[in-house]
């Protein structure tokens, strides 16, 4: 029996029209992602990976093509997004931020309370529940963003470089925490990053994207058993090889676009 894909993207193309220069951000992208899979999209900046995520998040419309997120449980939102660091709403307390999606969906009060408390505890934010985001560090803010998305209990999670603004140590800690929550909920995750290390640490599968037009040029399966640590990634010869492989691919891409821009 063939398993049905969780996310199915069919011939998706997105162009941005401007009078001076029109850009094809995404060019005929077809993709399917399995239930429970953790997929990272890696690509140089400006390759349209954020655009792809925004389309899946319903924040932008594709020019051509379509996509489907398969729903297995009624009443569940299709997707929730973990935004970059500024995505935490400053005039809501930590708790109100985490409860945001649930409140918007007008769930019963006790359900909101219970789920919010669970994820506050899970992310170690319970002590900060009544603070405003201005009093939190960057890492803590991102925990709020992650807790908000998981508390919303969506079919899939979309993450837009959530750790890009963090320092290395914090990044490792949050990556580990993310993996621990993820392994508990087994959500399907589509994660965008420009860090190869991050992709190797997190993903079941890495998709490499090229820039302008944005295409998926290669897929890499990461079979290294979990839980992985950053040390594993440095030591494991297979992963090391994969790192170099991806690195070279991206390097080619960047060089190419530099030449074209000259």
Partner 1 sequence: MNKEKATVGHDPFEIEQREWKQRQSRERYKQLLTIASPIFILLLWEVLSRTGIMDIRFFPPPSAILGTFWKMIASGAIADHIGVSLYRIFLGFLAGVIPGVIIGLLMGLYSPIRHFVQPLVMALMPIPTLALLPIIIILFGIGDLSKVVTIAGSVFFPVVINTAAGVLNIDRIYLDVADNYGAGKLQFFFKIALPGALPVMLEGIQMGQAIALLTIVAAEMMGATSGIGYLIWTSYKAFLLKEMFVGLILISFFGYLFSLMLRGLQKKLLPWR
Binding site for partner 1 (CB under 8 A): 57-59, 77, 79-81, 83-84, 86-87, 89-93, 100-101, 103-105, 132-134, 148, 152
Name which of 81 and 190 has its Cβ closer to partner 1. 81
Looking at residue 223, the DSSP 8-state letter turns out to be -
Q: Give the separation between CA 25 and CA 57, rounded to whole angstroms.
A: 16
Name which of 189 and 239 has its Cβ closer to partner 1. 189
Q: Which residues of 49-77 are buried (b: 16+ CB within 10 A; e: fewer)?
A: bbbbbbbbbeebebeebebebeeeeeeeb
Name which of 58 and 227 has its Cβ closer to partner 1. 58
Cα 254-255-260 angle, rounded to 5 deg: 100
Q: Give the separation between CA 187 and CA 179, rounded to whole angstroms.
A: 11
Q: For the chain, what is the radius of gyration of the CA atoms?
A: 19
CB of 132 to partner 1, least distance (A): 4
CB of 154 to partner 1, least distance (A): 10
CB of 25 to partner 1, least distance (A): 17
CB of 179 to partner 1, least distance (A): 23
The residues that bridge with 205 in the sheet, in sequence order, are: 39, 221
Q: Give the separation between CA 190 and CA 7, rounded to whole angstroms.
A: 10
Name which of 130 and 258 has its Cβ closer to partner 1. 130
CB of 116 to partner 1, least distance (A): 13
Name which of 119 and 249 has its Cβ closer to partner 1. 119
């Amino acid at each position: 029996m063939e398993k049905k894909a969780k996310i199915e993207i069919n011939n998706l193309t997105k162009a941005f029209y401007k009078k001076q220069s029109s850009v094809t951000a995404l060019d005929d992208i077809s993709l399917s992602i399995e239930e429970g899979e953790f997929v990272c999209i890696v690509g140089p900046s400006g390759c349209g990976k954020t655009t792809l995520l925004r389309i899946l998040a319903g924040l932008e419309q594709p020019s051509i093509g379509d996509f489907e997120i398969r729903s297995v449980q009624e009443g569940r939102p299709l997707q929730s997004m973990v935004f970059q660091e500024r995505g935490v709403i400053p005039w809501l307390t930590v708790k109100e931020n985490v409860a945001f999606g649930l409140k918007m969906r007008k769930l019963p009060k006790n359900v909101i309370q219970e789920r919010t408390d669970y994820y506050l505890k899970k992310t170690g934010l319970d002590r900060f529940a009544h603070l405003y985001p201005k009093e939190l560090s960057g890492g803590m803010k991102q925990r709020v963003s992650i807790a908000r998305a998981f508390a919303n209990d969506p079919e899939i999670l979309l993450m837009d470089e959530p750790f890009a603004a963090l320092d290395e140590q914090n990044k490792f800690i949050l990556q580990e925490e993310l993996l621990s929550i993820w392994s508990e909920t087994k959500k399907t995750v589509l994660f965008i990053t420009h860090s190869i290390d991050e992709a190797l640490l997190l993903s079941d599968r890495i998709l490499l994207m090229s820039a302008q037009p944005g295409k998926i040029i290669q897929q890499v399966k990461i079979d290294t058993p979990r839980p992985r640590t950053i040390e594993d990634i440095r030591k494991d010869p297979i992963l090391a090889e994969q790192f170099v492989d991806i690195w070279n691919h991206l390097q080619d891409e960047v060089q190419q676009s530099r030449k074209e821009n000259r």
